[in-house]
Amino acid sequence: MTERGVTIWFTGLSGAGKTTIAEQLVQIARDRGRNVEMLDGDVVRTNLSKGLGFSKEDRDINIRRIGFVCNLLARNGVIAVASAISPYRAIRDEVRATHDDFVEVYVRCSIEKLTERDVKGLYAKALSGEIKNFTGVSDPYEEPLTPEVLLDSETETEEESLAKLVAKLEELGHLPPA
């Protein structure tokens, strides 16, 4: 019998920690014998969504595409892990509605902290106006109202955030115990 698939959807501002936690989750799920696939927003924009920009329309198309692929995987027993800013609540909810099993993981961090962290040097450019339509600075981000999991990378260490997520997924029956 095929194991139950699920989409685990990471949302949050750039640099909040989505990919960091998602990649570790993928490894854990694999170690526990599950089929896993990851769709990273930055990677998808270089292939499946190549050519799309950062207008609301293009962002929505990008998220719908990622959601579509995740659903194909999840309904075939795969744990599909999506890591994308996905700033608009309505589109995230639209993707959720196509799924039987969907777990939204909000990786929260304040703009102040992200600017200080500035892992990819993007906040400095966004604040100086060199990059336009930057989520959280000059473009909207609509926080999830009731995410299944809330990780706060401002106050938690990576290890704490990951442990919290793994515990919740075990509790929901989406991850076999170690």
Candidates 18-26, 51-59, 98-106, 133-141; binding stretch for ligand ADP (CB under 6 A):
18-26
Structure token pair of residue 113: 């902290």
Q: Does 36 bind ligand ADP (CB under 6 A)?
A: no
Given 113, 156, 164, 170, the residue binding ligand ADP (CB under 6 A):
156
CA distance 49 to 29: 27
Output the DSSP codes for 79-126: EEEEE-----HHHHHHHHHT-SSEEEEEEE--HHHHHHH-TTSHHHHH
Output the DSSP codes for 33-47: T--EEEEEHHHHTTT
Given 5, 11, 15, 136, the residue binding ligand ADP (CB under 6 A):
15
CA distance 5 to 162: 20
Q: Does 119 bind ligand ADP (CB under 6 A)?
A: yes
Q: Does 83 bind ligand ADP (CB under 6 A)?
A: yes
Given 11, 20, 71, 86, the residue binding ligand ADP (CB under 6 A):
20
CB of 109 to ligand ADP, least distance (A): 8
Q: Does 157 bind ligand ADP (CB under 6 A)?
A: yes
Among 86, 110, 128, 138, the active-site one is: 86
103, HSE (Cβ side, Cα atoms, 13 Å): 25
CB of 115 to ligand ADP, least distance (A): 13
Which residues have a Cβ under 8 Å from the Cβ of 14 and sit 6 or more positions away?
85, 114, 120, 122, 123, 134, 135, 136
CB of 65 to ligand ADP, least distance (A): 18
Q: Is 86 a catalytic residue?
A: yes
List residues binding ligand ADP (CB under 6 A). 12, 14-21, 83, 107, 117, 119, 153, 156-158, 161
